[in-house]
């Protein structure tokens, strides 16, 4: 898409599944990504709590009525073919049921990455710390002058969860990151 729009490099940001899409784009096309912001998305399926993994595996057409209340469900009414929403849910559920681990690709990312998670996210804090470490952050004492800071950053927003993190004023306050 960037080639089609004649954009040489872009900043990518994504929340949840959108974060996974941004991660994949950065891994597959690092030369096209200037900066990456990942909000509430793990680098491996195992990074999500078991309850979240079970919930993702249950997404499908049978949930269509409830899913119509989500931003994607509401937006689907504007799709050229809104009836495709049921097939979309089935495909999403199948895809979110599959195991993945992108740690090798994460460790090679050349661009600065901002990781943003809620303190009560569906992604475990252990996984968040491992994610940041893959990017070179939080792995050593930097000393008084902070001369060896990682090019990547980590933000944990207190008082939010995976589903309402995007509404935090802290995200808007740091929108220039």
Does 176 score more than 50 pLDDT? no
Is 72 found in the same domain as 62?
A: yes
Cα–Cα distance measured from residue 115 to residue 42, given in angstroms and rounded to the nearest whole number: 10
For the chain, what is the domain count? Answer: 2
Separation in Å, CA 151 to CA 25, 34, 50, 147, 169? 19, 12, 31, 11, 24
Pairing assessment for the beta strands 113-120 and 153-161 based on DSSP bridges: parallel
Average pLDDT over residues 134-147: 77
- The encoded tokens of residue 105 equal 């690709």
Which DSSP string do the residues of 23-57 spell out, in sequence order?
HHHHHH-GGGEEEEEEES--SBGGGB-HHHHHHHH
Per-residue pLDDT reduced to its tens digit, 60-75: 899 899 889 888 889 9
Cα–Cα distance measured from residue 80 to residue 83, given in angstroms and rounded to the nearest whole number: 9
Per-residue pLDDT reduced to its tens digit, 75-125: 999 999 999 999 999 998 898 888 999 999 999 999 999 999 999 999 999
- The encoded tokens of residue 154 equal 């980590």
- The encoded tokens of residue 32 equal 């096209």
Is 129 found in the same domain as 141?
A: yes
Is 131 found in the same domain as 74?
A: no
Is 162 found in the same domain as 108?
A: yes
Does 3 score more than 50 pLDDT? yes
Q: Which of 18-22, 44-48, 71-75, 136-140 has the lowest mean pLDDT?
A: 136-140
For residue 177, the model assigns a pLDDT of 42
Is 121 found in the same domain as 176?
A: yes
The whole domain housing 68 covers 50-99
CATH code assigned at 106: 3.40.50.1820
């Amino acid at each position: 898409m960037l080639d089609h729009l004649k954009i040489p490099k872009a900043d990518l940001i994504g929340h949840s599944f959108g974060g996974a899409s941004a991660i994949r784009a950065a891994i597959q096309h690092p030369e096209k990504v200037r900066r990456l912001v990942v909000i509430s998305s793990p680098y491996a399926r195992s990074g999500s709590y078991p309850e979240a993994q079970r919930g993702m595996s249950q997404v499908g057409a049978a949930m269509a009525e409830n899913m119509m209340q989500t931003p994607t469900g509401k937006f689907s009414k504007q799709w050229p073919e809104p009836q495709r929403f049921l097939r979309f849910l089935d495909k999403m559920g199948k895809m979110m049921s599959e195991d993945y681990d992108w740690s090798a690709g994460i460790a090679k990312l050349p661009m600065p990455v901002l990781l943003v998670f809620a303190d009560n996210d569906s992604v475990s804090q252990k996984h968040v710390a491992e994610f940041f470490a893959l990017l070179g952050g939080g792995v050593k004492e930097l000393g008084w002058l902070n001369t060896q800071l990682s090019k990547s950053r980590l933000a944990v927003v207190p008082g939010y969860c995976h589903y309402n993190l995007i509404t935090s004023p802290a995200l808007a306050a740091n929108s220039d990151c």
